[in-house]
């Protein structure tokens, strides 16, 4: 989904929450859901504050009741609002209920205060089986893989993300005056407006670009930055040495961001390790011969049963479903 579409969706969600705040006393579950929604992104807090500001301005607009909005055929409620004599009595119900608006704004101010540390240096972390999609304050979108950890720090000059572990796909909102920088070990990925994936590996980092152009630099290395464009990928060692840039199908290579795992002649042990990051149900390979066998295919990351069915159909194996829900597979000798 494009950043503009995500912004539109956030606008709509904020308006819906505002209506709920004004319509009736919210249940505990609804209040908890509202707080969770606010915590998802600083953009949610900013949009709710904007809505509160607009409604606060309308409440102070004394000529509100004199605006002729009714047309022939309007229902009696709208006509009554237009024809009311007193400005105070003619205001819509949501404008007359000043205390809920004040309470909502106060709550949002409190929520903003609580989130200020996150805005200054927000930490995003996912567990096993958890994927997150986050809209940052500038409109950039992060698709975060399971078992990943990122730190986000924005200032007036730079948008900076440190990838401590895992991988993420970045859809960067264009802002030439504020470059978007992703740091992994000694590697820096610099972009203005583009889409690219960054994966932290045990011995380095892999960068794949799907749109636009990024610059890859190594700290402490006296060398010119490498530039990647769409459908290009580079691997950089933890020491900063970059391999040759290679052409890839970025849609296939970055399919993990949409929950699809794409393997080409990949040993089963590596396939199982990937599935285990995405699921509570854990797979176990019980012998080295099977673990070393290469396979190819595209799988739904959230469906280990589908992968097991594929293995059973293509290889002679024994499958044992354990009492805790985990699955063990071994060669059928």
The pLDDT score that the predictor gives to residue 212 is 94
The pLDDT score that the predictor gives to residue 55 is 66
Q: Which one, of 183, 212, 199, 197, lies nearest residue 141 by Cα?
A: 197
Domain coordinates in residue numbering, the chain:
3-120, 126-253, 259-331
The pLDDT score that the predictor gives to residue 26 is 74
The pLDDT score that the predictor gives to residue 95 is 42
Cα separation, 136 vs 143, whole angstroms:
11
User: What is the bridge-based pairing of β-strands 159-165 and 149-154?
Assistant: antiparallel
Q: Is 239:186 a contact under the CB 8 Å cutoff?
A: yes
Half-sphere exposure of 309 (CA within 13 A, CB side): 6
Report the SS3 class of residue 318: strand
The pLDDT score that the predictor gives to residue 278 is 93
The pLDDT score that the predictor gives to residue 241 is 82
The pLDDT score that the predictor gives to residue 34 is 81
The pLDDT score that the predictor gives to residue 92 is 43
Both tokens of residue 206? Answer: 């892999």
- What is the full DSSP assignment across 154-177? E-SS-EEEEEEESEEEEEPPP-TT
User: What is the bridge-based pairing of β-strands 159-165 and 180-184?
Assistant: parallel
The pLDDT score that the predictor gives to residue 3 is 59
User: What is the bridge-based pairing of β-strands 246-247 and 232-237?
Assistant: antiparallel
Q: Which one, of 227, 237, 220, lies nearest residue 190 by Cα?
A: 227
The pLDDT score that the predictor gives to residue 113 is 43
The pLDDT score that the predictor gives to residue 18 is 80
Report the SS3 class of residue 237: strand
Task: Specify the fold of 259-331.
Answer: Phage tail protein beta-alpha-beta fold (3.55.50)
Question: Taking the C-alpha atoms of 135, 140, 145 and 151 in order, what is their torsion angle to the nearest 10 degrees?
Answer: -90
Task: Specify the fold of 126-253.
Answer: Jelly Rolls (2.60.120)
The pLDDT score that the predictor gives to residue 91 is 44
Cα separation, 13 vs 29, whole angstroms:
17
| pTM as predicted | 0.64
Cα separation, 313 vs 107, whole angstroms:
57
Ranges in the chain, pLDDT < 70: 1-4, 23-25, 42, 54-121, 220-223, 333
Cα separation, 177 vs 162, whole angstroms:
20
């Amino acid at each position: 989904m494009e950043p503009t579409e995500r912004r539109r969706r956030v606008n709509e969600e904020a308006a819906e929450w505002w209506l709920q705040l004004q319509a009736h006393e919210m249940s505990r579950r609804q209040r908890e859901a509202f707080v969770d929604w606010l915590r998802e992104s600083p953009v949610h807090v900013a949009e709710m504050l904007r809505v509160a500001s607009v409604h606060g301005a309308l409440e102070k607009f004394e000529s509100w009741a004199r605006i002729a909005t009714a047309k022939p055929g309007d229902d009696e409620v709208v006509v009554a609002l237009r024809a009311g004599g007193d400005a105070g009595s003619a205001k819509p119900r949501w404008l007359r209920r000043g205390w809920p608006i004040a309470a909502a704004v106060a709550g949002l101010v409190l929520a903003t205060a609580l989130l200020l540390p996150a805005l200054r240096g927000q930490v995003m972390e996912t567990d096993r089986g958890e994927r997150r999609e986050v809209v940052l304050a500038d409109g950039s979108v992060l698709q975060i893989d399971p078992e990943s950890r990122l730190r986000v720090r924005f200032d007036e000059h730079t948008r900076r993300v440190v990838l401590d572990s895992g991988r993420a796909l970045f859809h960067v909102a264009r802002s030439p005056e504020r470059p978007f920088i992703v740091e992994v070990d000694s590697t820096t990925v610099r972009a203005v407006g583009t889409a690219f994936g960054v994966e932290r590996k045990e011995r380095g980092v892999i960068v794949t670009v799907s749109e636009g152009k990024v610059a890859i630099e190594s700290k402490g290395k006296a060398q010119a930055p490498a530039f990647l464009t769409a459908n290009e990928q580079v691997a950089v060692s933890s020491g900063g040495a970059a391999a040759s840039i290679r052409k890839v199908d970025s849609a296939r290579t970055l399919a993990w961001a949409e929950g699809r795992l794409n393997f080409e002649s990949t040993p089963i042990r590596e396939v199982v390790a990937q599935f285990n990051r995405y699921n509570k149900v854990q797979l176990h390979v019980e012998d080295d011969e099977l673990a070393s066998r290469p396979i190819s295919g595209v799988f739904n990351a959230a469906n280990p049963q589908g992968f097991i069915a594929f293995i059973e159909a293509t290889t002679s194996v024994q499958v044992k479903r354990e009492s805790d829900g985990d699955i063990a597979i071994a060669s059928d000798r």
